[in-house]
Amino acid sequence: MRRFRAVVSKILIRLALLTFAAAFAFIVPGDTPPANTRSDRVLGYAKDALYNYVAWLVGAIGAKLGQAHADPTIFMPESARSAFVVEHLARVAELQTLNSDLERALSNGAAHLTALIARRDALAAQVARETPLAEAIIESQVAAVLREEGFTLFGEVFPPVSARFTALPALLVISPRDRIVRELTVNLNHLPPEAISALEARLEAELDVSALITPIGGLALFPSMVIQTWHAPFLIETVAHEWAHHYLLFFPLGWDYASTSETWIINETTASLFGKEVGRKVVERYYSAFPQVLRLLPPMDAALSATPMPTATPDPRLPRPFDAAAVLDATRRRVDALLAEGQIAEAEAFMEAQRKLLAQNGYFYRRINQAFFAFYGGYQSPSGGGAGGADPIGPSVAALRRHAPSLRAWLEQMRFLTTRQALLDACARLP
């Protein structure tokens, strides 16, 4: 049965790779003469740093077609598969530490680094050799959970789970200054810090916008781009998150992803909640024998529990812990109010003051501005707050999940909800 499924999966993966690649070719913009819209001007300023999707896709699709032709995981026992992933991620962690040590040594003018560089290069080569197998194992584990949840076509998960663990591009986010809205996002090559600051400053000065260049954890190409990390729960969650985007592409919530800011927020919040739930199920099912993985799981969000979780009453004699999410929530709400009153300069000064407050308490953000909230406010938590402020999308999406009989039933409902009002109307009909 496992070998039959592997054959069917190979066929589906090949069809999906070719279909998604063809579709992506139609939606990637080609070279066009400069125009006067703000989006065109942003692209003009950033043209030397624009990320080359096509080059990445050619290599990734070729690699995945090769994996589909010869799947080395078929004959591996499940325990050996999970153990391989854990050992591989330990080497990824060691490699990242070595890279940091090397950067620090070079910045301090250290000499005689030949041995350290050789060790780093050997480990990097080993990680590169192992990565395709780790990808295939995690893909199959996520697919097994999705199959149990009912996301199948003719008995197989569709679209297939397909991901590449890789370095990701950065993301340029543009928001107007007078309100918080994701007006434009553009993927960029990695830039040194001084180039990032220079590009942000130029865009803000020339176009009177708020700009932020930020790292991302995944990108829903096909195969999806997933950041190479040692953190198993986050890695698995991101694979599931990006699969949710692939699934939603066949329905209105995916079709309209880029149409409005609120549709994008609903889509990303749905994918985030989906990824966390599936990721937890994968970890608990396949990595229960690895305490070093289990302890990385975040606590369950009380907003998703049908039974309210008890909370302890804080001791008034003890200092209250610093709550960064609460600070971001209060900041977002205050900034929204200031911008609604037309007090743009006051809002920007307040955001900078709050950024410094967060830094003083161990939470470092390079910039907090309208673009920051436009991007991070799109990934809303089930309990609300945080960078989303008063936006009800996060709690509303969570409420629908809490009342849905299954993960599949919930996603089948979410895939047609493309506006905030439609989402709120669906919540109003809950018992």
**pLDDT, tens only, 368-381:** 999 999 999 988 88
Tens-place pLDDT, residues 325-358: 899 999 999 999 999 999 999 999 999 999 999 9
Give yes or no for residue 186 having a pLDDT over 90: yes
Asked if residue 65 lies in contact with residue 14, where contact means CB atoms within 8 angstroms, the answer is yes
Element (H, E) at 336: helix 324-340
* Lowest-confidence pick of 1-10, 180-189, 224-233, 416-425: 1-10
- Alpha helices (runs of H) in 108-192, residue ranges in sequence order: 114-148
Can you give the pLDDT at residue 312? 42
> What is the model's pTM?
0.86
Give yes or no for residue 2 having a pLDDT over 70: no
Closest CA to 43 of 211, 192, 260, 194: 211
* Lowest-confidence pick of 180-194, 302-316, 337-351: 302-316
Asked if residue 173 lies in contact with residue 211, where contact means CB atoms within 8 angstroms, the answer is yes
How far is it, in rounded angstroms, from Cα 422 to Cα 196? 38
Fill in the amino acid letter for 207.
Answer: L
How far is it, in rounded angstroms, from Cα 249 to Cα 274? 15
Fill in the amino acid letter for 371.
Answer: A
Burial class (CB in 10 A: 0-12, 13-18, 19+), 238: buried
The angle at the Cα of 130, spanning 156 to 83, to the nearest 5 degrees, equals: 75
- For residue 169, whether the previous peptide bond is cis, meaning omega lies within 30 degrees of 0, is no
Asked if residue 230 lies in contact with residue 92, where contact means CB atoms within 8 angstroms, the answer is yes
Token pair belonging to 364 = 């470092």
Token pair belonging to 208 = 């009177």
* Cβ neighbour number for residue 277 with a 10 Å cutoff: 19
Give the pLDDT mean for 167-173: 93
Token pair belonging to 225 = 């781009």
Give the pLDDT mean for 237-247: 96
Q: What's the gap between Cα 108 and its chain centre?
A: 34
Can you give the pLDDT at residue 310? 42
How far is it, in rounded angstroms, from Cα 85 to Cα 286? 10
Tens-place pLDDT, residues 18-41: 555 555 544 444 444 345 588 888
Give the pLDDT mean for 264-271: 94
Asked if residue 211 lies in contact with residue 176, where contact means CB atoms within 8 angstroms, the answer is no
208: left (phi over 0), alpha (psi -120 to 50) or beta: left
